[in-house]
Amino acid sequence: MFLELGSHRLDLTTPQLMGVLNITPDSFSDGGVHLDPEAALARARVMVGEGAGLIDVGGESTRPGADRVDERTEIDRVVPVIARLSRELAVPVSIDTSKPAVMQAAVAAGATLINDVRGLCTPDALETAAALGVSVCLMHMQGEPASMQDAPQYADVVGQVEAWLLERVRAARAAGIPAGRIVLDPGFGFGKTLAHNLALFAALPRLAAHGYPVLAGVSRKRMIGELTGQPVGARVVGSAVAAALAAARGARILRVHDVAATRDALAVMTGLTRQT
Ligand code: HH2
């Protein structure tokens, strides 16, 4: 399985690590650290050296309780960084946004994957992504970040998330986005309790069975904190274990902050479960 990302062809036969690079003052784990493009570039270089196969650049935090930022601010944060990363790194760059204007500016600067936590549901987002001709990641979220963790409710979380993702696939394909350019993501922690996250995690093989690469983003999230009792800064081991398990359950792209730890977790899991 391959994903076309501009001049790059991402081989998903083995799981790929997507390194998180937030150019925000308030992201829940790396907020404020990469606002300077030089610092962002240096961090991206480290992640690529550690084994990241792509870098996901975001200019708006979507942590629970986060407020929206305007499109000018988001563009000003991400475009200079994307331009430099796509010129200077050997890996593809994705843009984590829901805003059509940011998608356009980011792709013009070199991004080749649109990673939208709102599944291209914002007005004009679907048409914009289709016209840009890049690959897309469609993620599920219940509600909006400002209030999504207040009281998330589902009658059947797996069935509902799966049906919603498949509906978004139909919409994306109808808009002209080819099947081979679509990635799906159940959206861990986005309007979900721990029980909902655990049910979705167990259902990763079912979600992967639809034939679209599945992206899993559990890195340093509250669910890891709930399982380990650790604060954000001490969730590296829990996150790496979760990412390796997600890969074992069929996830093909792992969105992570701690690339080296996840790479090692994957290597050990692969080595120890190889058939002899
Ligand atoms: N999680 C976050 C942001 N973008 N995109 C996808 N496809 N899947 C995810 O699980 C996902 C995502 C939240 O994490 P982070 O970027 O570290 O924090 P913040 O939203 O505070 O910037």
Tens of pLDDT, residue by residue over 200-212, are: 999 999 999 999 9
The residue whose CB lies within 8 Å of the most ligand 1 atoms, and thus the one to mutate among 17, 35, 43, 62, is 62
Report DSSP state, residue 2. Answer: E
Q: Output the CA 84–ligand 1 centroid distance in Å.
A: 22
For the chain, what is the total number of helices (H) and then of strands (E)? 10, 10
Catalytic residue among 221, 222, 235, 263: 221
Q: For residue range 68-85, what is the model confidence (pLDDT) as tens digits?
A: 899 999 999 999 999 999
Residues 241-260 have pLDDT tens digits of 999 999 999 999 999 999 99
Q: Count CB-CB contacts under 10 A for residue 104.
A: 16
Q: Is 45 tagged catalytic?
A: no
For the question of residue 255 being annotated catalytic, the response is: yes
Strand partners, 116: 138
Assess whether pLDDT exceeds 70 at residue 139.
Answer: yes
Rounded mean pLDDT of 171-190? 98
So what's the pLDDT on residue 144? 87
pLDDT at 276: 64
In the set 181, 222, 252, 255, the catalytic residue is 255
Q: What is the pLDDT of residue 171?
A: 98
pLDDT tier at 3, thresholds 50, 70, 90 = very high
pLDDT in tens, 36-71: 889 999 999 999 999 999 999 999 999 888 888 999
Nearest to 166 by CA among 150, 142, 182: 182
Compute the distance from residue 62 Cα to the ligand 1 centre, in Å: 6
pTM across the whole model: 0.97
9 pLDDT higher than 80 = yes
Q: What is the mean pLDDT of the chain?
A: 96
Residue 213 has pLDDT above 70, yes or no: yes
Q: Strand runs (DSSP E) across the chain, as ranges?
A: 2-5, 8-11, 16-22, 54-58, 93-96, 113-116, 135-139, 182-185, 215-216, 253-256
Counting residues of the chain whose pLDDT is more than 70, the rounded percentage is 100
Given a cut of 70, is residue 88 above it in pLDDT?
yes
Q: Is the pLDDT of residue 275 over 80?
A: no
Q: Which of 18, 24, 61, when mutated, tests ligand 1's pocket best, judged by the most ligand atoms within 8 Å of its CB?
A: 61
How many other β-carbons are positioned within 10 Å of the β-carbon of residue 34? Answer: 24
Q: Ligand 1 — pocket residues by CB below 6 A?
A: 20, 22, 24, 27-29, 58, 61-63, 96, 115, 117, 137, 139, 185, 187-188, 215, 217, 255
CA of 108 to the centre of ligand 1 (A): 22
Reported confidence tier of residue 8, pLDDT bands at 50, 70, 90 = very high
